[in-house]
Amino acid sequence: MRAVIQRVTQASVAVNGALTGQISTGLLVLLGIEDSDTLEDITWLSNKIVNLRIFQDEAGVMNLSVKDREGDILLVSQFTLFAATKKGNRPSYIRASKPAIAIPLYEQMQQALTTDLGKPVATGIFGADMQVQLLNDGPVTIIIDTKAKE
């Protein structure tokens, strides 16, 4: 599993002009899923995302998590995070899971984040052509790959 996590002051996702998810202060999480991902990856990544200390405390130091700030999370599936660009100029997405595998894992990640955060997580629609808008705060952008555990 691969995640791009952006600290935002606002973010939203729409499909065909209809808003499907919207948050204010919190994290936009773009999530890529591959066939080798398991419940262990979900548990580890959800805990890591919710507890990442990337929000400023009263001293201006990044020492607070989204949970500490009572912020929100917007989770958006993004198979292109597993693009392979080694050969040629057309990316290959062979490592990205097909919907039959990815959808249940995406739904489990949504549930894990909801549980760990203690409130519902906003989402896009898996597999849809989505328009994502965000106001990156900082900017702060973190990339995590569960296989590397970093």
Q: Domains, the chain, ranges and CATH?
A: 2-145 (3.50.80.10)
Choosing from 55, 79, 82, 126, which is the catalytic residue? 79
Give the predicted TM-score (pTM) of the model: 0.95
115 is catalytic: no
Choosing from 6, 20, 55, 78, which is the catalytic residue? 78
Place of tokens 């894990």: 112
Q: How confident is the model at residue 149 (pLDDT cuts 50, 70, 90)?
A: confident
Q: To which H or E segment does residue 8 belong?
A: strand 2-15
Residue-wise pLDDT for 35-64, tens only, equals 999 999 999 999 999 999 999 999 999 999
85 is catalytic: no
Q: How confident is the model at residue 150 (pLDDT cuts 50, 70, 90)?
A: confident
78 is catalytic: yes
Residue 76 confidence (pLDDT): 98
Choosing from 80, 111, 115, 133, which is the catalytic residue? 80
